[in-house]
DNA sequence: AATCCGGGGGG
DNA sequence: CCCCCAGGATT
């Protein structure tokens, strides 16, 4: 399909209009004051599937903690994950560390400078490679993110399902045709994303004050709400987490999550997952060592159900607080280790666990 | 091509 | 309740 067929003039102004809009409406964001690829890369990884307001404070903390790619390469991965705590999609932090070590160790601290070379970095896909290539190195390659899908789908009236491979190709080709009309690819890329985030929002876009109103197919046909087309709804699976919080004195037993599951390499408590909710302490399945802990321990509390919703799962968790008398020699089940409060604080944990620990102090 | 991977905020 | 966010890796 040729999106330019009827009028070259109307689309020629697209990049210009967006760029002008951007100069008047852009937010003042810290990563917009640098062309250093390290900071650009850091901001883009943080902002993957993450709103600016949520990611920004993390960006500030990462810049302060790791002012250079060498500093990040030398960091302990656990500390990186701890700083990432609460952002989600934790493999991003681990891929970020791998890339930092590769750039610092094998490339003498110099980031790759082209889209194709950037694409080879762990955790850097088509979007992030385009962002770095254009923002840091002025390469004329279009970013295609959720904002771009929405803006292009509406302005050009594209009804392809954005979850399909064919549509991704369509949008990428169009976006790269459009960026050719701009003499400043970095600003243009920023502009179209900012426009999607502020003006052409998913629900109730501000069409009445939109500079593209009269050439927006969605507006002209009243289909803003229908575009972009996105078919697949994620199925959410329910899971029941029964946490045994073993405490002796001020120490609590924690365990690294190493299995192929959510929250990989984060720390939580002794976990017994069941197909159905458990209502009573005695219903817990018995493991040999755990059984001993439960026999010798004293049940100090059972929390109400807490839920944590993930993109594909809904976790329903209850916490059994079990106190083991001090001075008692305890053999903890599989992989659990007693941690002092300062150690516990230092380890990366799911928000579900962080919130429970906060409640324990009161 | 499908599925998985977090957490939060807005309507 | 629903949507989706400056996506990427794995299967």
Q: Indicate yes or no: strand C within 7 A of the C-beta of A196.
A: yes
Q: For residue A280, what pLDDT is reported?
A: 66
A133: CB within 7 A of chain C nucleic strand = no
pLDDT in tens, A202-232: 999 999 999 999 999 999 999 999 999 999 8
Angstrom CA distances, A227 to A80, A147, A151, A157, stand at 38, 12, 9, 8
Q: What's the Å distance between residue A123 CA and nucleotide C9 C1'? A: 8
Average pLDDT for residues A80-106, to the nearest whole number? Answer: 98
The arithmetic mean of pLDDT across residues A163-185, rounded, is 96
Catalogue the active-site residues of A.
44
pLDDT digits (tens, 9 = 90+) for A311-323: 999 999 999 999 9
- Write out which nucleotides of chain C lie closer than 7 A to a protein Cβ: 3-9, 11
Are the C-beta atoms of A227 and A154 separated by less than 8 Å?
A: yes
The answer to whether the C-beta of A313 is closer than 7 A to strand B is: yes
Span CA (A6) to C1' (B9), Å = 40
Q: What is the pLDDT of residue A5?
A: 45
Kindly tell me if the per-residue pLDDT of A331 is higher than 90: no
Rounded to an integer, the average pLDDT of A320-334 is: 90
> What per-residue confidence (pLDDT) applies to A7?
45
3-class SS of residue A326: coil
Of A79-83, A142-146, A290-294, the range with the lowest mean pLDDT is A290-294
Q: Is the CB of A201 under 7 A from strand C?
A: no
Which positions of chain B lie under 7 Å from any protein Cβ?
Answer: 1-9, 11
With a 7 Å cutoff on the CB, does A87 touch strand B?
Answer: yes
DSSP A201: -
Could you tell me where the DSSP H helices lie in chain A? 8-25, 37-46, 52-65, 69-73, 77-84, 91-106, 115-118, 126-137, 146-155, 165-179, 185-198, 217-221, 288-296, 341-346, 351-360
Which 32-91 residues of chain A approach strand C with CB closer than 7 Å? Answer: 32, 43-44, 47-52, 89, 91
Torsion angle, alpha carbons of A215, A221, A223, A227, to 10: -40
Q: Which domains does chain A have, with CATH numbers?
A: 8-226 (1.10.340.30), 237-360 (3.90.79.10)
What is the pLDDT of chain A when averaged over all its residues? 93
Residue linked to tokens 């960006």: A59
Strand B lies under 7 A from the Cβ of residue A177:
no
User: Which chain A residues 199-238 have CB under 7 A to strand B?
Assistant: 203-204, 232, 234-235
Give the nucleotide nearest to A135 (CA→C1'). Answer: C6
**Does residue A313 reach within 7 angstroms of strand C, measured from its CB?**
no
């Amino acid at each position: 399909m040729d999106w330019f067929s009827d009028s070259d003039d109307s689309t020629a102004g697209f990049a210009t209009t967006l760029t002008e809009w951007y100069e008047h409406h852009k937010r003042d964001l810290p990563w917009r004051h640098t062309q250093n690829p390290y900071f650009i890369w850091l901001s883009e990884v943080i902002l993957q599937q993450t709103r600016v307001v949520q990611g920004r404070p993390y960006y500030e903390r990462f810049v302060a903690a790791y002012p250079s790619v060498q500093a990040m390469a030398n960091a302990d991965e656990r500390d990186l994950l701890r700083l990432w705590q609460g952002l989600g999609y934790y493999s991003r932090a681990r891929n970020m560390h791998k890339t930092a070590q590769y750039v610092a160790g094998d490339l003498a601290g110099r980031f790759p400078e082209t889209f194709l070379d950037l694409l080879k970095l762990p955790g850097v896909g088509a979007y992030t490679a385009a962002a770095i290539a254009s923002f840091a190195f002025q390469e004329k390659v279009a970013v295609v993110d959720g904002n771009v899908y929405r803006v292009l789908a509406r302005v050009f009236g594209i009804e392809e399902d954005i979850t399909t491979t064919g549509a991704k190709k369509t949008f990428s080709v169009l976006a790269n045709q459009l960026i050719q009309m701009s003499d400043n690819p970095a600003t243009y890329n920023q502009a179209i994303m900012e426009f999607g985030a502020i003006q052409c929002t998913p629900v109730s876009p501000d069409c009445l004050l939109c500079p593209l109103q009269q050439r927006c197919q969605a507006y002209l046909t009243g289909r803003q709400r229908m575009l972009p087309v996105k078919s697949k709804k994620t199925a959410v699976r329910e899971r029941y987490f029964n946490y045994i919080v073993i405490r002796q004195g001020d120490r609590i037993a924690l365990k690294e999550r190493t299995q192929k599951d959510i929250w990989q390499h984060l720390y939580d408590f002794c976990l017994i997952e069941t197909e159905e909710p458990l209502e009573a302490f005695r219903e817990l399945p018995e493991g040999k060592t755990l059984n001993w802990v439960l026999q010798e321990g004293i049940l100090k509390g059972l929390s109400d159900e807490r839920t944590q919703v993930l993109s594909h799962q809904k976790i329903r968790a209850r916490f059994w607080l079990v106190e083991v008398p001090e001075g008692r020699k305890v053999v903890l089940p599989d992989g659990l280790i007693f941690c002092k409060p300062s150690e516990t604080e230092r380890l990366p944990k799911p928000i579900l666990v962080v919130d429970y620990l906060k409640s324990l102090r009161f």
